[in-house]
């Protein structure tokens, strides 16, 4: 079954939020237009406790985008974002959510970051997304969301590891860094990921 997977379409990642993706709001209209073409739609949601280890504000003397060593893993320190129960963590108000069947929250453990919608960055804890999709007989995942070069990318990598076919909807994703994303597109294309415009479906 073809499934639309929406990654972190949240206020803090939209222009005006605390960690905005440039032009991130341009993906809303294509995503809304696409939804009627899918029998199953699921979403991920960044959902951090206020004292999350990835926030620069929780490390004395550090500022956003500094890089630290966290238990042997390189950790980018981010501005506070998508804090549980805040407006920044909510889905963008123009995103149609009535047809989203399930929401999988990530980044809930204060001790480790979680870019992928499937696992935390150490692959220590599953969100349950893979099992849910397999129980629903989802085989082909179509991706929209933010940011294309971070959370969308890492969710795609795990989706491939879990055996799903992946299509990235180019007008339904937006990158924080377009140069990094261009390299990611080449990498994922070599791994068999398809890139398509929503009008091609």
Q: What is the DSSP string of 53-98?
A: TTBGGGSTT--TT-EEEETTEEEE-B-S-SBTTSGGGSBPTTS--T
- CA-to-CA distance for 23 and 3, rounded, in angstroms? 25
Confirm whether 82 is a catalytic residue: no
Q: What is the mean pLDDT of the chain?
A: 96
Catalytic residue among 106, 149, 158, 171: 106
Q: What is the pLDDT of residues 157-169, one digit of tens each?
A: 999 999 999 999 9
DSSP 3-state assignment of 35?
A: helix
| Residue 200: predicted pLDDT | 83
- CA-to-CA distance for 5 and 101, rounded, in angstroms? 11
Q: Which fold has domain 2-49+82-200?
A: Rossmann fold (3.40.50)
Share of the chain above pLDDT 90, in %: 94
| Residue 72: predicted pLDDT | 82
Confirm whether 12 is a catalytic residue: no
**Which stretch of DSSP H or E encloses residue 24?**
none
- Are residues 5 and 152 in contact, defined by beta-carbon separation less than 8 angstroms? no
Q: What is the pLDDT of residues 58-98, one digit of tens each?
A: 999 999 999 998 888 889 999 999 999 999 999 999 999 99
- CA-to-CA distance for 5 and 103, rounded, in angstroms? 10
Catalytic residue among 149, 151, 157, 158: 151
Q: What is the pLDDT of residues 88-131, one digit of tens each?
A: 999 999 999 999 999 999 999 999 999 999 999 999 999 999 99
Ordered by start, the domain boundaries in the chain are 2-49+82-200
Nearest-5° angle of CA 52, CA 58, CA 62? 130
Confirm whether 25 is a catalytic residue: no
| Residue 195: predicted pLDDT | 97
Catalytic residue among 8, 80, 113, 171: 8
| Residue 73: predicted pLDDT | 82
């Amino acid at each position: 079954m073809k499934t639309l997977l929406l990654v972190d379409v949240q206020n803090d990642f939209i222009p005006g939020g605390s960690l905005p993706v440039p032009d991130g709001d341009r993906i809303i209209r294509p995503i809304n237009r696409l939804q009627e073409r899918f029998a199953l739609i699921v979403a991920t949601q960044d959902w951090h406790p206020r004292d999350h280890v990835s926030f620069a504000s929780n490390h004395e003397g550090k500022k956003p985008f500094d890089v630290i060593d966290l238990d042997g893993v390189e950790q980018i320190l981010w501005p506070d974002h998508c804090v549980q129960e805040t407006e920044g963590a909510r889905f963008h108000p123009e995103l149609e959510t009535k047809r989203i069947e399930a929401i999988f929250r990530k980044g809930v453990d204060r001790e480790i970051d979680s870019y992928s919608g499937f696992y935390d960055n150490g692959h220590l804890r599953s969100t349950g997304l893979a099992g849910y999709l397999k129980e629903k007989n989802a085989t082909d995942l179509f991706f929209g969301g933010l940011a294309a070069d971070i959370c969308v990318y890492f969710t795609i990598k795990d989706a491939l590891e879990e055996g799903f076919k992946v299509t990235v909807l180019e007008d339904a994703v937006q990158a924080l860094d377009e140069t990094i994303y261009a390299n990611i597109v080449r990498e994922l294309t070599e791994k068999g990921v398809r890139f398509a415009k929503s009008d091609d479906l």
